[in-house]
Amino acid sequence: MKRAIYPGSFDPITFGHLDVAERALRLFDELIISVALNEGKKPLFTLDERTAMVREAVRTLPGHERVKVTSFDNLLVDYADQEGAIALVRGLRALSDFEYEFQLALLNRRLNARVETIFLMPRGTYMAVSSRMIKEIAKLGGKVDDFVPASVKSALLGKYAKS
């Protein structure tokens, strides 16, 4: 069984993330979407909230029964070994993403050559969508319906209503 891990902070998960996950499911038998603790990014949502949002969002994916949602707070390549994954899936939207992701992939290969990194691009509709931008739009009262699932929109509205 070919298993891949799609790691990220998913703060929050977007349609772009889901598009990359759907593409990965075409290539792998099983996909583990792993929500990173990543406190350095100062997430809007807690790890548990982000994990729950991802679980809810992936239910719409074709092949969702082959998706497992977890969280992790250790070295990604060690986590990949622990889960029996052969690849890491990373989404690329722009050239600026590629430079960072390329460096990370080379470092991960150096740490664990058994785990490959696969880069996937979301469809053009989602190329400019980032979680950071979605949070800013929601915070300023803009519409996020075209960028995130309804459950994520509700969570965003709930967070910013409290501010």
Q: Which residues are catalytic?
A: 17, 41, 93, 131
* Cα 131 to Cα 105: distance, rounded to the nearest angstrom: 21
Q: Give residue 85's identity as a one-letter amino acid code.
A: A
Copy the structure tokens of residue 16.
């772009």
Alpha helices, H only, the chain: 15-27, 47-58, 76-83, 95-111, 131-139, 150-161
Instruction: Determine the Cα angle at 119 with ends 40 and 67, to 5°.
Output: 80
> Residues near 84 by Cβ (< 8 Å), separated by ≥ 6?
3
